[in-house]
């Protein structure tokens, strides 16, 4: 039988450090902890996580609640998951992928009632999110990727929509555009309380106002068909608009169809941006679209780290981080039509 002492020798640390690392009784540097866990594994030492969990009441398992497929879950959301799983692994934790049912609070009650997870990571957070109420009442540690309307002292990592909108508007204003539109999410897939849609709408409006641009914000589309119709309506009502940023990449497909049908071209007749898509997605379009790339993996990593910090130092101050999207300039943004510069 391998003993704690054997593990300590192999990892070249004190026995008390091995015990602390394996039982989570006091903080041990992540790198040291990892070395100890590897030494234990190499020697076939079975700390028995279950027995440890009974004593420490901790499992070192975090749950990430993810939305059901067909809800628009895409590459960015996948990056939340993989980023969080990697950050958790680096700190000696495990990430459980928990699909959400129609009743997320009941799901949470089930999940936390089993003693399986130490804490919960939320994503697709709504402005008023009943899940946070349940987690607060039940005393379950949690962190959010995204945030509620008034996150108060809750831990979160979210997109810096204000800075992202300013960067995008500055790019368009710099090219000479005077009237722009945000093609926001429609209320189909995303109900009215969906945080990113509301915040993007507010912040694009504010950034346009500050930059002195005319702004159409009440245009919505999530599918190619909706995007095509919404763009046609926009052009009928506001022919002065020369640049559009689309929140949904599917809606952007529809805008491109409508542009083609009018015999127009991107970017000569219309500048088209993706408001929330990876450069990899933007590159598939012809022309390659300018995009605001969300920091998916970084937000996932930050969320997991915050939650682990909260578990290990319950009394620490709230961790709240905003990270802007990265403006990746493609071939779809140029001076406005009629300016003489783009033709």
Q: How far apart are CA 155 and CA 88, in angstroms?
A: 16
Q: How far apart are CA 268 and CA 304, in angstroms?
A: 44
The helix/strand/coil state of 211 is: helix
Task: Identify which of residues 73 and 214 has a Cβ nearer to a copy of itself in the complex.
Answer: 73
Task: Identify which of residues 106 and 210 has a Cβ nearer to a copy of itself in the complex.
Answer: 106
Q: Which residues pair with 171 in a beta bridge?
A: none
Contact 226, 186 (CB under 8 A): yes
Task: Identify which of residues 66 and 156 has a Cβ nearer to a copy of itself in the complex.
Answer: 66
Task: Identify which of residues 208 and 282 has a Cβ nearer to a copy of itself in the complex.
Answer: 282
- Minimal CA–CA distance to 128: which of 193, 77, 46, 216? 193
Closest distance between a copy of itself and the C-beta of residue 240, in Å?
A: 26
The helix/strand/coil state of 126 is: strand
Q: How far apart are CA 311 and CA 58, in angstroms?
A: 10
Residue 92's Cβ-count burial label (10 Å; 0-12, 13-18, 19+) is middle
Closest distance between a copy of itself and the C-beta of residue 237, in Å?
A: 26
Task: Identify which of residues 300 and 324 has a Cβ nearer to a copy of itself in the complex.
Answer: 300
Q: How far apart are CA 255 and CA 244, in angstroms?
A: 9
Closest distance between a copy of itself and the C-beta of residue 211, in Å?
A: 29
The phi-psi region of residue 100 (left if phi > 0; otherwise alpha if psi is between -120 and 50; otherwise beta) is: beta
Closest distance between a copy of itself and the C-beta of residue 197, in Å?
A: 20
- The DSSP call for residue 250 is H
What would the two tokens of residue 35 be? 């070395």
Task: Identify which of residues 92 and 217 has a Cβ nearer to a copy of itself in the complex.
Answer: 92
Closest distance between a copy of itself and the C-beta of residue 49, in Å?
A: 5
Listed in order, strand segments (DSSP E) in the chain are 61-66, 94-99, 119-122, 142-145, 156-159, 179-184, 214-220, 243-246, 271-274, 290-293, 320-323, 326-328
Closest distance between a copy of itself and the C-beta of residue 253, in Å?
A: 6
Closest distance between a copy of itself and the C-beta of residue 325, in Å?
A: 17
Task: Identify which of residues 190 and 215 has a Cβ nearer to a copy of itself in the complex.
Answer: 190
Q: How far apart are CA 243 and CA 235, in angstroms?
A: 11
Q: How far apart are CA 224 and CA 207, in angstroms?
A: 27
Closest distance between a copy of itself and the C-beta of residue 196, in Å?
A: 19
Task: Identify which of residues 51 and 128 has a Cβ nearer to a copy of itself in the complex.
Answer: 51
Task: Identify which of residues 133 and 237 has a Cβ nearer to a copy of itself in the complex.
Answer: 133
Closest distance between a copy of itself and the C-beta of residue 54, in Å?
A: 5
Residues that bind a copy of itself (CB under 8 A): 37-38, 40-42, 44-51, 53-54, 59, 61, 64, 66, 68-69, 73-75, 78-79, 81-83, 85-86, 89, 94-99, 106, 109-110, 113-116, 224, 249-250, 252-253, 256, 260, 280-281, 283-286, 297
């Amino acid at each position: 039988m391998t003993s704690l002492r054997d593990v300590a020798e192999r990892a070249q640390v004190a026995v008390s450090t091995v015990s602390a690392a394996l039982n989570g009784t006091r903080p041990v540097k992540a790198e040291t902890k990892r070395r100890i866990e590897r030494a234990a594994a190499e020697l076939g030492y079975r700390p028995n996580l279950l027995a440890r969990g009974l004593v420490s009441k901790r499992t070192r398992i975090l749950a990430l609640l993810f939305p059901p497929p067909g809800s628009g879950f895409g590459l960015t959301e996948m990056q939340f998951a993989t980023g969080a799983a990697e950050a958790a692994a680096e700190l000696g934790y495990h990430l459980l992928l928990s699909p959400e049912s129609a009743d997320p609070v009941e799901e949470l009650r089930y999940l936390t009632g089993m003693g399986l997870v130490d804490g919960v990571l939320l994503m697709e957070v709504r402005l008023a999110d009943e899940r946070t109420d349940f987690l607060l009442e039940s005393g379950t540690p949690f962190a959010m990727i995204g945030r509620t309307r008034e996150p108060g002292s809750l831990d979160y990592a979210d997109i810096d929509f204000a800075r992202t909108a300013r960067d995008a508007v500055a790019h368009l204003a710099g090219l000479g555009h005077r009237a722009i539109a945000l093609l926001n999410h429609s209320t189909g897939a995303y109900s009215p309380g969906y945080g990113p849609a509301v915040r993007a709408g507010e912040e694009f409006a504010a950034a346009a106002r500050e930059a002195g641009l005319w702004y159409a914000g009440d245009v919505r589309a999530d599918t190619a068909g909706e995007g095509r119709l919404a763009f046609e309506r926009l052009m009928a009502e506001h022919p002065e608009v020369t640049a559009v940023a689309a929140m949904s990449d599917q809606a952007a497909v529809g805008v491109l169809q409508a542009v083609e049908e009018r015999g127009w071209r991107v970017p000569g007749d219309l500048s088209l941006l993706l408001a929330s898509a990876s450069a990899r997605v933007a590159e598939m379009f012809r022309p390659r679209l300018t995009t605001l790339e969300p920091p998916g993996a970084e937000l996932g990593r930050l969320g997991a780290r915050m939650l682990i910090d909260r578990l290990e130092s319950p009394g620490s101050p709230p961790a709240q981080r905003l990270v802007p999207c990265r403006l990746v300039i493609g071939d779809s943004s140029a001076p406005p039509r009629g300016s003489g510069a783009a033709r």
